[in-house]
Amino acid sequence: MEDRESAIRHCIEKFGVFYQKTGQQAMMGRLMGYLMLAEPPHKTFEEITEFLLCSKSAVSNTLHQLMYVGMVDYVKFPGDRKRYFRLNQESWDRMFEVQLQELADFRGLVGEALKLRSRKYPETNRHIEQFYKLMQIYEEQFPEILGKWKKQLTKKKQG
């Protein structure tokens, strides 16, 4: 059985591969995976760079991107000049809301394309219409799912 650090490194690499498969930078996934597994849950720039075996510029650029989209933030401690980076735990719902808005925007484009298509290829039109309807159902039902999740979080904070 592999030791804990090897398992952690392997998991972090899986995050990188996942992000890369979704069209994003592998480094973004690796950094997200690292911060998700970090103990304590906040790490300095140097700790991140050292653990991920990456250049300072790669880590810096990725941290800036993740902070810009709100997935990562940092804390400072009294008497310590360093910044400690961590996952922004309040950003999960925002991430899904952004994805939902992107889906709505994309659905709008697909709808526009449907209006412009001729009736010459009905089979293709039918497939595009089905895809449009699937996006519509997802867009309608996902806010309810997100609401249930937020309600569960609220209950856990109160209880």
Cβ(102)–Cβ(108) under 8 Å?
A: no
Residue 118 has pLDDT above 90, yes or no: yes
Per-residue pLDDT of 121-150, as tens digits, reads 999 999 999 999 999 999 999 889 888 888
How would residue 158 be classed by pLDDT, with cut points 50, 70 and 90?
Answer: confident
pLDDT value for 43: 97
pLDDT at site 152: 86
**Gap between the Cα atoms of 64 and 62, Å rounded:** 5
Residue 146: per-residue pLDDT: 85
Question: Mean pLDDT of all residues in the chain?
Answer: 92
For residue range 48-107, what is the model confidence (pLDDT) as tens digits?
999 999 999 999 999 999 999 889 999 999 999 999 999 997 777 777 888 888 899 999
Q: What is the DSSP string of the chain?
A: ---HHHHHHHHHHHHHHHHHHTTS-HHHHHHHHHHHH-SSS-EEHHHHHHHHT--HHHHHHHHHHHHHTTSEEEE--TT----EEEE-TT-HHHHHHHHHHHHHHHHHHHHHHHHHS-SS-HHHHHHHHHHHHHHHHHHHHHHHHHHHHHHHHHHHHH-
Contact 128, 117 (CB under 8 A): yes
- Tokens (6 digits) for 116: 């412009």
Question: What predicted TM-score, i.e. pTM, was given to this entire model?
Answer: 0.75
Categorise residue 72: left if φ over 0, alpha if ψ from -120 to 50, beta otherwise.
beta
Task: Give the per-residue pLDDT at 67.
Answer: 93
Give the pLDDT of residue 23.
Answer: 92
Question: Taking 90 as the threshold, does the pLDDT of residue 159 lie above it?
Answer: no
Q: Cα separation of 77 and 44, whole Å?
A: 12
Q: What percent of the chain has pLDDT over 70?
A: 98
